[in-house]
Amino acid sequence: MKLCGMTPRRIGFLVALVTLLLDQANKLWLIDVFKIGQRQPVHLTPFLDVIFAKNPGISYSLLSADTLTGRLALSAAALVVTAFLCVWLWRSQRLLTTIGLGLIIGGALGNNACDRFFYGYVADFYYFHVGGFSWYVFNLADVAITAGVICLLYESLIGEEPSANGKKRQGPASGPPNADAAEKR
């Protein structure tokens, strides 16, 4: 399946690049142009603020890495996982799968590789809260990763997409991802 003359693989890698660039541009603008550190909190709605939080760990500040060795270890682990996701994207022929993987790859590179390299921590900005309920602070890369996981779950559990031979496949009951290739042999 091609969209705008591009294969799903190319679309997935383009999504990863755009996700990475948008995440980093947003962070650069908030930190260096808007100077969020000196202007926080900025109340956007009664339940969403823009603040500046420095997260030395991973989600919810788990595995805090305050030392250079810790940051390198987290970055290396993220790069290994990202490499596996890139291989998965490369092999996938399904558009929604490649878009989901592209979102996750771009978000992971933005949060882990770039942020840890440039800042030594992950820069988070968006603080969601309702009344006494307070959710974690997140950034655009986190949104992209979450959206990517939702794409993969949808594709795996519910998704229906025509295969290369024109037949419709549905979720996991359709067999392995390379079922179409096996049919052509």
Q: Catalogue the active-site residues.
A: 124, 142
- DSSP assignment string, the chain: --BTTB-HHHHHHHHHHHHHHHHHHHHHIIIIIS-HHHH--EEEETTEEEEEEEESSBGGGBS---SHHHHHHHHHHHHHHHHHHHHHHHH---HHHHHHHHHHHHHHIIIIIIHHHHTSSEEEEEEEEETTEEEEEE-HHHHHHHHHHHHHHHHHHT-EEE-TTS-EEETGGG--TTHHHHHH-
Place of tokens 């994207």: 89
> How far is C-alpha 176 from the geometric centre of its chain's CA atoms?
24
- Report how far residue 135's alpha carbon sits from residue 68's, in angstroms, rounded to the nearest whole number: 28
CA–CA dist 145, 86 (Å, integer): 14
